[in-house]
Structures are given as structure tokens and as C-alpha cells.
């Protein structure tokens, strides 16, 4: 793959994740339109290889025994980050977790067009305090090929990898790109009172763990309300104000 290409990393350590990736790949042409060079890197921790006609490689990775799931993911991500920098030829790589789904076919070409040479990471910039993520970039993100060298001084194996480094909106602006306008992060955009919504400008959604979003995107069932991009932006702004300033008595924006 040429240095201007994208490497999609699909790392699985359970049969459920294996099956989720297979469903995505079975519908690749319906979900993804790529003009740029790309390759998929499967990271196999269950001893079973995913078969696909798409360009790909598989590397095996054994999860250390006795660790919790988030600890395994943390170490596996660090292993991949080092591997990509040392052994892969790409412009950037995307850590694609099994519950992330493109909802427009131009998703990855669109995001690639936003990438700049100074960027080290590009993804969802969290602005609330849930799980200690404020001013962190969610791990399902695009990374520079040499991101490990940039990130290693901040890496702490005891933490989840995406909580290790803070990205200051001013001081670090040249090093990261915020995709919140086009990227829906379910954990930070829904609640019992406010279900997750789609909007026309969304390209990527992360956090729907069943098949409902895939069915929606493929046109089989309409599981999610669709509102305007402006409505989604206002509602997320309201949620940020409520979470950070305690404005919980203000009613959420109406449709």
C-alpha cells in the first residue's frame, strides 16, 4: 500500500467482535466507497482468521491471562501502534472497533480530506467528564503512522489508552482535528431522556452494539430518529452545558 493510503485496524478478542466485523465486511460495498489506497489489518486473539476479498493482512496477538477486558484492549492498542510505526507503510491508520459503523459511503474519503500533515490524531473530542475523558480523543480515531513516538511519553498501561493524553483546544490545536460535527459518539450523546439521533451530515457512529444501526443504514428498518445537523449540534451543546455547568433544569431543545 502506498504511503498516502489508510490502514484499517480491526482487532478482535471475542467471537462476538469477530462476527460484528464479518457483518461489516459482508456489506462493505454498501457501506464504504474508497478511492484512496487502503488495507485492512486484522489482529486475531481467538485463533480464527476473517476471510475477505478486500486487501488485508492478519497478525496474531495473545491477550495476557488474568487481565480485564479494558486492560487487554489497552495493551493490544499499544502493540498495534508500535507495529504500524515500525512495519506498515500508510499515511494514517484507523482503530476500528466492532461497534463503530460508517453511516455514509464517503465517510473515510471525507475524513481523509480533513487530515493535515501536522495532525497526529483525528477523532471525537470529548468535552464532558464522563470516565475522565474531558479533552481526550476517543480511541476510535485516525492516527498518524508515527503516532506511537508522539504518544509514548504519555502512555500509562494502568489507564485506558485514550485517557492518557489531554488535548488542549488551544495549545494542541495543530496536532489534532475534531470530528464531532460528523462523528456521533453514542455514550456522550444519548441518555434515558434523549435517545441517540442521526443527522444528514453524520459520517461515523460509535457505540451501537447490536445490529440496529446496520439495519438502519442498509434501509431495512428505521430504528433511529433523523433530525437536522443544526438540531443535533444544539442538543449536544445543551448536553455539554448541563454536564459542565449543572444546567439540569433547562429543558432540552425541542424538535
Tell me the pTM: 0.92
Average pLDDT over residues 139-167: 95
The percentage of the chain sitting over the pLDDT mark of 70, rounded to a whole number, equals: 92
Confidence of residue 246 (pLDDT cuts 50, 70, 90): low
* Residue 61 domain-assigned (yes or no): yes
Q: pLDDT tens digits, residue range 6-30?
A: 999 999 989 999 999 999 999 999 9
| Closest alpha carbon to 208 in 219, 192, 196 | 196
- What is the domain range of residue 168? 6-182
Taking 90 as the threshold, does the pLDDT of residue 116 lie above it?
Answer: yes
Residue 139 to residue 121: CA distance in whole angstroms: 10
Residue 249 to residue 182: CA distance in whole angstroms: 28
Look up residue 142 and give its three cell numbers: 485516525
Cβ(124)–Cβ(185) below 8 Å: yes
Specify the pairing of strand 142-144 against strand 204-206: unpaired
| Closest alpha carbon to 247 in 136, 137, 128 | 128
* Residue 155 domain-assigned (yes or no): yes
Q: For the domain that residue 20 is a member of, what is the CATH number?
A: 3.90.550.10
Q: pLDDT tens digits, residue range 207-221?
A: 999 999 999 999 988
Residue 207 to residue 124: CA distance in whole angstroms: 12
- 91: left (phi > 0), else alpha (psi -120 to 50), else beta? alpha
* Residue 98 domain-assigned (yes or no): yes
Q: How many domains does the chain have?
A: 1
* Residue 105 domain-assigned (yes or no): yes
Amino acid at each position: 500500500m502506498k504511503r498516502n493510503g489508510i490502514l484499517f485496524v480491526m482487532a478482535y478478542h471475542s467471537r462476538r467482535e469477530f462476527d460484528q466485523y464479518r457483518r461489516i465486511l459482508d456489506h462493505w460495498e454498501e457501506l464504504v466507497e474508497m478511492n484512496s489506497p487502503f488495507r485492512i489489518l486484522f489482529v486475531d486473539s481467538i485463533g480464527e482468521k476473517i476471510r475477505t476479498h478486500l486487501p488485508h493482512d492478519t497478525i496474531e496477538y495473545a491477550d495476557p491471562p488474568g487481565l480485564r477486558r479494558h486492560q487487554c484492549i489497552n495493551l493490544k492498542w499499544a502493540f498495534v501502534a508500535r507495529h504500524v510505526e515500525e512495519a506498515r507503510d500508510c499515511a494514517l491508520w484507523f482503530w476500528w472497533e466492532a461497534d463503530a459503523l460508517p453511516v455514509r459511503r464517503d465517510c473515510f474519503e471525507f475524513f481523509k480530506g480533513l487530515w493535515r500533515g501536522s495532525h497526529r490524531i483525528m477523532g471525537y473530542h470529548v468535552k464532558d467528564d464522563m470516565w475522565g475523558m474531558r479533552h481526550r480523543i476517543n480511541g476510535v480515531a485516525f492516527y498518524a503512522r508515527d503516532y506511537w513516538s508522539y504518544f509514548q511519553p504519555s502512555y500509562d498501561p494502568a489507564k485506558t489508552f485514550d485517557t492518557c493524553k489531554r488535548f488542549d483546544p488551544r495549545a494542541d490545536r495543530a496536532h489534532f482535528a475534531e470530528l464531532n460535527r460528523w462523528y456521533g459518539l453514542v455514550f456522550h450523546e444519548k441518555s434515558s431522556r434523549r435517545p441517540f439521533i442521526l443527522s444528514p451530515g453524520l459520517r461515523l457512529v460509535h457505540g451501537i452494539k447490536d445490529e440496529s444501526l446496520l439495519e438502519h443504514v442498509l434501509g431495512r428498518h428505521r430504528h433511529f430518529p433523523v433530525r437536522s445537523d443544526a438540531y443535533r449540534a444544539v442538543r449536544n451543546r445543551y448536553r455539554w452545558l448541563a454536564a459542565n455547568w449543572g444546567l439540569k433544569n433547562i429543558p432540552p431543545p425541542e424538535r
